[in-house]
Amino acid sequence: MAEDRIHGIHDRIGRIEMSEKAKKQRKRLYNAPHHTRRKVMSATLNDKLRERYNTRSLPLRKGDEVEVMRGSFKGHVDKVAKVDRKHYRVYIEDITVQKADEAQVPYGVHPSNLRIVKLDLSDPLRKEKLQRYQQEGSK
């Protein structure tokens, strides 16, 4: 079996066996490359979008409109201002916390606590991918 630092252990057939140990799962998450972090930074779609595009979740990007599902900002709906892949946080417009010196700083929300309400379709590649999802579902 060949050990692959990022993707796990490969058996003879080439399948990947992921470790069940929490320590190794955390290590894999913290040492993940940029392209893998993009997939981890996904949020579920609301029912309307899920039915339309035939997919459950999509990677978040700046400009998407999201709803906060958990935490003290639950129910808040606004646009994504920044996606921080290094710290696995999404910054949303108008979600701030007050520091001790009364300065307002943006508050990062984990993508698992978000639901996409409206997609930013300004990128033609993303639009094309969503059209492929639609066609796969209509077959």
Over 70: is that where the pLDDT of 139 sits? no
Average pLDDT over residues 80-109: 96
Contact 133, 126 (CB under 8 A): no
Name the nearest CA neighbour of 82 among 105, 103, 106, 99: 106
Q: pTM of the prediction?
A: 0.82
Structure confidence by residue, pLDDT tens digits, 16-63: 677 889 998 899 889 999 999 999 999 999 999 999 999 999 999 999
Report which of residues 138 and 95 the model is more confident about.
95
Q: Give the separation between CA 132 and CA 48, rounded to whole angstroms.
A: 17
Q: Within 10 Å of residue 116's Cβ, how many Cβ atoms?
A: 24
